[in-house]
Amino acid sequence: MILTILKRVVISVVITLLVAVALVFSQSPRKMAGEGGLDFTRQLESVGDAPAPLQSVPMRDGYALQVRTYGGADDVPLLVLVHGSGWHGLQFDNLGKALQGKADIIVPDLRGHGTAPGRRGDVDYIGQLEDDLADLITAVAKPDQKVVMAGHSSGGGLVVRFAGGQHAEMIDGAVLLAPFLKHNAPTTRQDSGGWTQVLMRRIIGLSILNTFRITALNHLPIIQLNMPKVVLEGTLGHTATTSYSYRLNESYAPRSAYLDDIAALPPFVLLAGKTDEAFYAEQYAPTMAAVTDKGRYELMTGATHLDIVDDPRTKAIIEGFLNEF
C-alpha cells in the first residue's frame, strides 16, 4: 500500500515537472516594435550635458556597483533613489541635483542595468538586488543617519520588496513614485499599458520548478521591455535593458504576497500621475490603505508615468517628506 502511494506521488511529481519544462520552452522572446510603449523623450531631455559621474561601491561578492552621488549637508538623511525598469540611475540626475542639500543622495545603476561597460550582466540569485541595496547603505550611511529609500515604477516595487525583507530595519522612510506592486494587483494595467511583453507560460513553468527548488533555468528571459528606438539607438550615450531573466524580474518586484510587503513599509509618501499609462493611479490608496495606515497618497493632475519623476510638485513633496527625518 505504501509503495503504491509513493509510486503515485513520484509519477505525479515527474508529470508536474515535465509539464513545467514544457511550459518554459513553449514560449520564447520575440522582436519588440520599439513603439507604443512609454515616451522617454522628456526623460532623455532632462539629463543635462554634465550628468553626475559614476563611482564604484564594492558589493559582498566583489561586484563593483556603479553609483552617482549628489551632495548633501550636515544632519540630513541618506536618500537612495532606485530607478525604474529598463533604465538606470541617470533617470534621477535632474531630481538628484534639485534635492542637493536636502539629503545625502546616492543613485545606483542596479545590477543588470546601466551605462558602464561590463557592469550590466544579471543577478546571480533571487533577492540579490535587496542585498546590493543593503550593502550600499552599509557602505555610505553615516552613524545614526536616517535612511529614506525612493523608487520609480519597478524601482518603487523594489523599495516595497526591501521593506518586506530581511533588511527592512535599514530604512526609516520610503518615497514611492508610481510603484509596480505586482502583475495581479488592482493598480496594474494589461501589459503595463503596452510597456511590457510578458512570457506568462514560461513564468508559470519556472515558478513550478522553483517550488521544487530547481533553479537551473532561472536565467531565461521572461519579460521584454518595449524600449523606444530613440533609447535603443544610444541617444546621449544612454543604454537600455530590454529583457529580464526570471531571477532578475523576481528580484525587482514585491513578493507574491505583495500586500505583506506593503504592510511592512515604514512611513511613506506615494506619488502618481492621474494620466499614468502603465498603472491605475486611483487604485493605489484603496489597495495599500487596506493593509497599512503609514502612507500618504498624492495624485497629480496632468502627469504621466514618466513625468512624475521630474515634475516640480514631486520635488516639493519629497523635500517636505525629507524634512520629517
Name the grid cell of 319: 523635500
% the chain with pLDDT above 90: 71
**Angle at which helices 154-163 and 128-140 cross, to 10°:** 80
Question: Could you read off the pLDDT of 286-315 as tens digits, one per residue?
Answer: 999 999 999 999 999 999 999 999 999 999
What per-residue confidence (pLDDT) applies to 122?
A: 86
Asked whether the predicted pLDDT for residue 45 surpasses 80, the reply is no
Question: How far is 189 from 178, CA to CA, in rounded Å?
Answer: 12
* Average pLDDT of span 250-272: 97
Q: What is the C-alpha separation between 98 and 117, in angstroms, rounded? A: 28
Question: Strands, E, within the chain: which ranges?
Answer: 55-58, 64-70, 78-82, 104-109, 147-152, 173-177, 196-198, 221-225, 243-245, 268-273, 295-300
pLDDT digits (tens, 9 = 90+) for 14-25: 899 999 999 999
Q: What does the pLDDT read at residue 310?
A: 92
Q: Do 205 and 214 form a contact (C-beta atoms < 8 A)? A: no
Structure confidence at residue 1 as a pLDDT band (50, 70, 90)? confident
Whole-model pTM: value is 0.92
DSSP 141: P
pLDDT of residue 226: 80
Domains and CATH numbers, the chain: 2-322 (3.40.50.1820)
Which tens digit of pLDDT belongs to each residue from 89-115?
989 999 999 999 999 999 999 998 886
The 10s digit of each residue's pLDDT in 109-147 is: 999 888 655 556 789 999 999 999 999 999 999 999 999
